[in-house]
Amino acid sequence: MAMTETTLQPRERILRAAADLLAEGGREAVSTRSVSAAAGVQAQTIYRQFGDMQGLLDEVAQRGFASYLSDKHANLSSGDPVEQLRRGWDLHVSFGLANPALYRLLYTDPRPGEGVAVMGEAYDILVRLVTRVAETGRLRKDIQTAAAMVHAAGIGVTVTLIGADAAGLLAAHEGLSENTRDAVLAALITSDTDDQETPEARPRAERGARHAVALKALLDEDGDGKDAGEDKERLFTPGERLLLGEWLTRLTGRAGPGGL
């Protein structure tokens, strides 16, 4: 037991030292020398434990992201999918403002072709939320396009607010997050007023596109053939499923500039 504690202790000290340095001085403050000094270990101990400094930073990011992911998963539990999407946006922005250095590390650190696994998990949760909206027949765009728009807009707002906060100008951006969130969602999701309109009040192409988005969401969800114990592969062969998916994807883009 004593040997295990001795082995784990330096690793924990290194992680805490790197997290503190990141929070205090940003990515540039986390160097081999600074972490070694703060953790009281030799440089080779860092490389032995984490492979390299990027490996250390990745683990620091995963730890810092854990509570955020927990909140994101909790948001999936129940409720109206549009409200869940709003809460998901707010969680994202709040996390960034509370952890600016960690957020920059995760979302703005230039590492082409790479990415921390937890970020992929967070994006998957976003796609699941958007899919739920699509299944209600209220999504104007296809799922991947809508998710990408929410993701990009959310990052842009959060980075802007982090910069404003650092400059002491956060108060000047009051309402930016909420206003942008509502504008993006309004462009992607039909309102209650829209749903009360008669079918004839909306362009035919838009009506068709919305139904196609909903059907494709259900088709993708049931792709494993195991929904409610039914054998979906008996309804569609893999080739038929692929062709139907292609047709539905084509229909989602039929609405003109005034619709989708």
Tens digits of residue pLDDT in 142-177: 899 999 999 999 999 999 999 999 999 999 999 999
Quickly name the fold that domain 1-51 has: Arc Repressor Mutant, subunit A (1.10.10)
The whole-angstrom separation of Cα 208 and Cα 251 is 7
Q: Where are the domains of the chain?
A: 1-51, 52-188, 197-252
User: Hey, which of 81-85, 203-207, 219-223 has the most confident mean pLDDT?
Assistant: 81-85
The whole-angstrom separation of Cα 93 and Cα 50 is 30
The whole-angstrom separation of Cα 166 and Cα 156 is 16
pTM (2 decimals)? 0.72
- Residue-wise DSSP of 123-191: HHHHHHHHHHHHHTT-BSS-HHHHHHHHHHHHHHHHHHHHHHHHTT-GGGGTTHHHHHHHHHHHHHB--
Q: Does position 228 have pLDDT exceeding 70, yes or no? A: no
Proportion of the chain above pLDDT 70, given as a percent? 68
Q: What is the pLDDT of residues 57-114, one digit of tens each?
A: 989 988 988 889 998 888 887 789 999 999 999 999 999 999 999 999 888 875 544 5
The whole-angstrom separation of Cα 213 and Cα 228 is 22
pLDDT at 229: 46
Quickly name the fold that domain 52-188 has: Tetracycline Repressor; domain 2 (1.10.357)
Q: Does position 21 have pLDDT exceeding 90, yes or no? A: yes
CA dihedral defined by 208, 209, 213, 214, rounded to 10 degrees? -30
